[in-house]
Amino acid sequence: MKRRPPIHNLKYLESNRKYLRKNLTPAEAYLWSHLQSKKFHGLKFRRQHSIKNYIVDFYCALHKLVIELDGQVHEEPVHKEKDQKRDQDLTELGFTVLRYENKYVFEELPHVLRDIKNHCGID
């Protein structure tokens, strides 16, 4: 049986992941404070986890769920196109991508958490 090459936390991205973990954006830090240490319905989330060549903001392996938080720069056409390609690539690998604007995380956190909960099928 042929073994698939690994796609998670590739070694060459390790220093980038560590840097991003130590330098979370304010929105990432705010959401992380609600997801870390299985605080959110006992689910284990990782922050700044890599899948293939992408480093995703948050990842829940149990539900193959990727959560991305976007700042103003993601409104630019070049970034929108890159985000669409990234989401498509991750979706083709079997992951679900939930994407939120930073501002929305601060203003509507209960809705963000409810959306994550609904995706995970938690009552």
pTM greater than 0.85 (yes/no): yes
Q: State the CATH number of the domain containing residue 69.
A: 3.40.960.10
Structural domain total, the chain = 1
Question: pLDDT tens digit string along 4-33?
Answer: 889 999 999 999 999 999 999 999 999 999
Question: pLDDT tens digit string along 82-111?
Answer: 999 999 999 999 999 999 999 999 999 999
pLDDT band with cut points at 50, 70 and 90 for residue 123: confident
Answer yes or no: is 68 within a domain. yes
Domain that includes residue 90, residue range: 11-119
At 5 the pLDDT is 84
- C-alpha torsion 100→104→106→109, nearest 10: -80
Question: pLDDT tens digit string along 42-53?
Answer: 999 999 999 999
